[in-house]
Amino acid sequence: MLNLERLRTLDALARHGSVSGAADGLHVTTSAVSQQMAKLEREVGQPLLAKNGRGVRLTDAGRLLADHAARIISQVELAQADVEAQRGCAVGALRIGAFPTAMRGLLPQALNALRGEHPELRPHVREQEPEESMAAVVRGDLDLALAIDWHNKRMPVPVELTRAHLLDDSCDIAVPDGHPLANREKISLAEFAEDEWISWNEGQFCHEWLVFTLRGIGIEPRIAHIAEEHHTQLAFVEAGLGVCVTPRLGRGPVPAGVRLLPVSDAVRRHVYAVWRADADRRPSIRAAVTALRQVAAQL
């Protein structure tokens, strides 16, 4: 009899491509992954891994079994969803990934509502960028993710996922007090052609959006500084080191030396929840999405 947890380990190895990647995805040690694979090899009676330089690769038998493992795990998730749906109540663990401003601006209120309405539901939240959290939902490492895209640049959603819109989040341009535009009631992005920008990490969807948007209006972006967190970006703005885009969701206090300017051409982020389509019947997911929508409607 094949052990389901060992099949999960094999599936993680196939998806991540390394023992360390599988360990990170499963939240276990690399030695635990190696031990599970050694036991699985004994169960099937043939090698599933082969050395590949300093790493490992799946053998032909390993790839064959990994394909079956992915289907088995999907069927198990469907079975769990059906059982949970039959009970008609949201129970058990619910793993959620969310980007930082949603962690501050949406999830605390939504989780508080879930705790009151569904006391047997145990949410576990992880802060992740949308690209990472959506991939984790596809892999089965997360049950639900909060993601974003922009009014003029949509983020592709894998076909395996279902998406529910939560809210549109308007953004402003943060400038230092002494900026020539600081006293304007509204501005256009085209007026920042000569400014230096504080942006998100290169390779992140939001950084790509900023570059794409500025180039779309004929501005070659002058990215002076890279900062992951919006509060860090605002600290740089206050010091006169550039300007930045700052969303309203989860914003919190703004430094005294920063002015926030609304944009006349409406810079907006779309915030939505995603989950695996084969888990659509789970009451826990429906309950979480309902709570998120209720909080979003109040913002």
How many other CB atoms are there within 10 angstroms of residue 256's CB atom? 7
Contact between residue 171 and residue 246 where contact means Cβ atoms under 8 Å apart: yes
pLDDT digits (tens, 9 = 90+) for 157-176: 888 899 999 999 999 999 99
Contact between residue 92 and residue 120 where contact means Cβ atoms under 8 Å apart: yes
CA–CA separation, 267 vs 212, rounded Å? 13
Tokens of 243: 């300007």
CA–CA separation, 207 vs 213, rounded Å? 10
Question: Which residue from 94, 96, 79 is spatially nearest to 284, judged by alpha carbons?
Answer: 94
pLDDT tens for the chain, residues 1 to 299: 788 888 889 988 888 888 888 887 777 888 988 899 999 999 999 999 988 877 788 999 999 999 998 888 877 777 776 676 666 678 888 999 999 999 999 999 999 999 999 998 999 999 998 988 988 888 778 899 999 999 899 888 888 899 999 999 999 999 999 999 999 999 999 999 999 999 999 888 899 999 999 999 999 999 999 998 889 999 999 999 999 999 999 998 999 999 999 998 778 999 999 998 878 778 899 999 999 999 999 98
Burial class (CB in 10 A: 0-12, 13-18, 19+), 261: buried
Q: What is the pTM of this model?
A: 0.74
First-to-last alpha carbon distance for the chain, in angstroms, is 52
pLDDT digits (tens, 9 = 90+) for 187-213: 999 999 999 999 999 888 899 999 999
Tokens of 22: 């599988």
Tokens 């036991």 correspond to 39
Is 128 strand, coil or helix? coil
